Amino acid sequence: MALLSFLDREHSIARPDYNRWLFPPAALAVHMCIGQAYGLSVFNIPLSKLLPVVEGQPNDNWPLTTTVWIFNIAFFVLGLSAAFFGKWVEKNGPRKTMFTSACFFATGFMISALGVHLHNIWLLYLGYGVFGGIALGLGYISPVSTLIKWFPDRPGMATGMAIMGFGGGAMIGSPLASNLMDYFGNKVQSAGVVMTLVTMGALYFCMMMFGVFAARVPAPDWKPEGWTPPAAGTNKMMTSANVDADTAIKTPQFWLLWAILCLNVTAGIGVLSQASPMIQEMFSEASKGVGKGITPAAAAGFVGLLSLFNLVGRFFWSSFSDYTGRKVIYMIYLGLGTLLYALIPTAGQMGNAGVFVGIFCIILSMYGAGFATIPAYLRDMFGTMQVGAIHGRLLTAWSTAAIVGPTLLTELRESQIASGKAAGLSDSLAKASAYNTTMYIMASLLVVGFICNLMVKPVDEKFHFKG
């Protein structure tokens, strides 16, 4: 066990000559790996074709409704593990947490590979769902608190950089998995998926271990060169006090931020999960004319473009929040977001795909930014002492939204199509207009979020940690 003592917080305190810009790559390495979860859908089709289909015999392959639960379980467990292990993360520091996350993530891939080999879906639920989910939760919050301590002068930029990595994870994970499945699976499809999962588990473990070795925590009295902490009371929306995690969840500020994150993510994730069919149905040839419709390839390009804006927005807007303050930036995310969601039906009716795409790009940039800026907002409200643990508990809002968002959008779409057909619209026109009401509902969710943000005030002194 002495061998593993280098993982302890006390053994990872930086020497005076450590450059603080070495920590963001360590954080990025972990977030880029666990962000692969966003690209899990690349396995959907291969997992549904593992067994040969013989005519006249039952097809025992897994349908999408079965495999989608791997993703759902992983994100549900992410929220739980971030909430339950937050204080453990604060106590043990980023290095031990990253190491634990790497072990769980790699083990999750290996168990999943075994599940594919044996064609046992429960092993995939256990592997990627439970083990992977724990890794996601631990890995996601592992660098947050330390980043804020290394960059007290620019906390928004620092956390934006790491959480940008999570957005980039899918961009790496999806093409990597596709290429590996092509490479390994040219003869037997299941062997291709098994070897892809094993290889990815090994590669991600190595990358995360880079983060483990590079991670350092600042000494307690460390501060950036030339920076002096703002005097207490100069900015009421940025506390110099601390609130511990157990007390933080008793404050209205925590639940207001929980609601803001949940509503922002519900709106964004709902759109992101339906982006491809939505643009094809709103700009179909039947509704816009022959040759003017959006093709499936162009729709895939639209999804890719949204992912890029989701990534860039995390860094851009979160860095910008260091200058505007967190309350103002969330007023922009939620206020401008409301306006843009409300404009989507008009853009669709105008038939201007460029305006439509542009609106969605800005919306998705602010969706990603909502994730990236929230740790800095928590730091402003509750101080740095247990910001990682508080962030972990707040991530239950994400798990909630990950289930509510896509379900809400799908249900609304189905009911709108049904009422459109009942009103005498053709199938394609009913589909094209189905999203209009949905967009107004998404806009109203952001209005509620905007009001919650307006209600955020500094935490009452009675909650401050007295030590």
Q: Which two tokens stand for residue 100?
A: 């634990």
Among 177, 248, 311, 430, binds another protein (CB under 8 A): 311
Q: Does residue 222 interact with another protein by CB under 8 A?
A: yes
DSSP 13: B
Report the site for another protein in 362-401 (rule: CB under 8 A).
none
Report helix, strand or coil for 55.
Answer: coil
User: Minimum Å distance from CB 298 to another protein?
Assistant: 5
User: Minimum Å distance from CB 157 to another protein?
Assistant: 15
Among 16, 56, 58, 233, binds another protein (CB under 8 A): 16
Q: Does residue 21 interact with another protein by CB under 8 A?
A: yes
In the beta sheet, which residues pair with residue 217? 13
Please name the residue that has the structure tokens 């990358």. Answer: 207
In the beta sheet, which residues pair with residue 13? 217
Among 225, 234, 291, 466, binds another protein (CB under 8 A): 225
* DSSP H helices in 383-426: 387-394, 396-422
CB burial class (10 A; 0-12, 13-18, 19+) of residue 127? buried
CB burial class (10 A; 0-12, 13-18, 19+) of residue 47? buried
Q: Does residue 206 interact with another protein by CB under 8 A?
A: no
User: Minimum Å distance from CB 276 to another protein?
Assistant: 11
Among 224, 229, 230, 289, binds another protein (CB under 8 A): 224
> Distance (Å, rounded) from C-alpha 33 to C-alpha 184?
21
Q: Which two tokens stand for residue 177?
A: 């998995």
Report the site for another protein in 99-138 (rule: CB under 8 A).
none
Which of 305/355 has CB closer to another protein? 305
Q: Does residue 25 interact with another protein by CB under 8 A?
A: yes
Q: Does residue 28 interact with another protein by CB under 8 A?
A: yes
Side-chain-side CA neighbours of 117 within 13 Å: the count stands at: 12
User: Minimum Å distance from CB 243 to another protein?
Assistant: 26
Q: Does residue 80 interact with another protein by CB under 8 A?
A: no
* Neighbour tally for 87: CB within 10 Å: 18
Which of 32/248 has CB closer to another protein? 32
Q: By the criterion CB under 8 A, which residues form the site for another protein?
A: 16-22, 25-26, 28-29, 32, 165, 168-175, 207, 210, 214, 219, 221-225, 297-305, 307-308, 311, 357
